[in-house]
Amino acid sequence: MDDSTPEIAFEKLHRLHLLSKEFTEKAVKLGKIIIEEVDKSADQKTIKPKNMGGIAGGEKYAEQGIFFKFAIDLFKIYGGDEFAIKAAGLELQGLKCLLQTGIKGLHYPLMILIDYRGYRLIGKYPRQ
């Protein structure tokens, strides 16, 4: 949508707000399930991990159009879960820096960090 008039700009922001709210509620709900089942085997989990390539970012999940990365040092490349959690935080910082450039025409995913029970999960929509 363009934002050539105040009315159009308001409608654009309103729609983005509603999408963001829906995304946040859904991502938190699903993220809590993923984190609560951290000690279960893959076949016992409600939301199953997926092999989506790559080893950075920990275990990966895709559910209801949201891509999740569980910030655990699953493949021992970070030197511990604490550093995997920090890397996940830096991913959000990187997205914020890109947003601040103000470059027209770039598109960004909605992204959330979910910190729950001492774990961190990244959620992105649309799934990438």
pLDDT at site 1: 54
Distance of CA 128 to the CA centre of its chain: 10
Question: pTM of the entire structure?
Answer: 0.87
Q: What is the mean pLDDT of the chain?
A: 92
Domain boundaries, the chain: 6-125
* CA–CA distance, 34 with 46 (Å, rounded to integer): 8
Confidence of residue 104 (pLDDT cuts 50, 70, 90): confident
Lowest-confidence segment of 39-43, 86-90, 104-108 by average pLDDT: 104-108
- Res. 2: pLDDT tops 80: no
Of residues 75, 84, 80, the one with CA closest to residue 113: 84
Of residues 113 and 106, more confidently modeled: 113
pLDDT one-digit tens code per residue, 14-62: 999 999 999 999 999 999 999 999 999 999 999 999 998 888 888 999 9
H helix or E strand, kind and range, residue 21: helix 6-36
Confidence of residue 4 (pLDDT cuts 50, 70, 90): confident
* CA–CA distance, 51 with 85 (Å, rounded to integer): 20
Rounded to the nearest 5°, which phi and psi values hold at 83? -75, -30
The pair of structure tokens assigned to 127 is 């799934």
Per residue in 97-128, is it b (16+ CB within 10 Å) or e — as a string? Answer: eeeeeeeeeeeeebbbbbeeeebbbbbbbeee
Mean pLDDT of 99-112: 89
- Res. 128: pLDDT tops 60: no
